[in-house]
Amino acid sequence: MALYQREIYGSTAWRKSYARRGTTVEPHFGALKDEAVAGFARGKVRMRGLVKTGLMVAAALATTKLRFARAWELRKQVAAALPAPKENPRDPYHHRLTRITRQVGSRTEVLHPLLT
């Protein structure tokens, strides 16, 4: 049985392959299938011919690309308007544990001194 994916889903090779195309190709396919954007689905296209269908898909891809470019530009403007984040808003956490001990009879035995 032929596999649709070369790599096993979830493996390191699959993650590298998906990351390579995850930001370029996959969002466009999803947008073309989304009813709010292009709404391409089986049975929705009422055109015949490779040239006509190809031009329609090219126009849909161009408008999708334009929509993504506008959204990216808007995100960039919003990020530029925000104040710069502080480098470290909180102090690093320091625990109060100074050593690991155990009680042996009436005396306390130090098992490990913790260095903070």
pLDDT along the chain (116 residues), means of 10: 66 79 72 79 80 87 86 90 76 68 87 69
Q: What is the reported pLDDT for 91? A: 62
Residue 10 CB neighbours (<10 A): 8
Q: What is the reported pLDDT for 73? A: 93
In-domain check, residue 99: no
Q: What is the reported pLDDT for 1? A: 47
In-domain check, residue 101: no
Q: What is the reported pLDDT for 61? A: 85
In-domain check, residue 29: yes
In-domain check, residue 91: no
* CA distance from start to end of the chain: 57
* Domains: count for the chain: 1
In-domain check, residue 74: yes
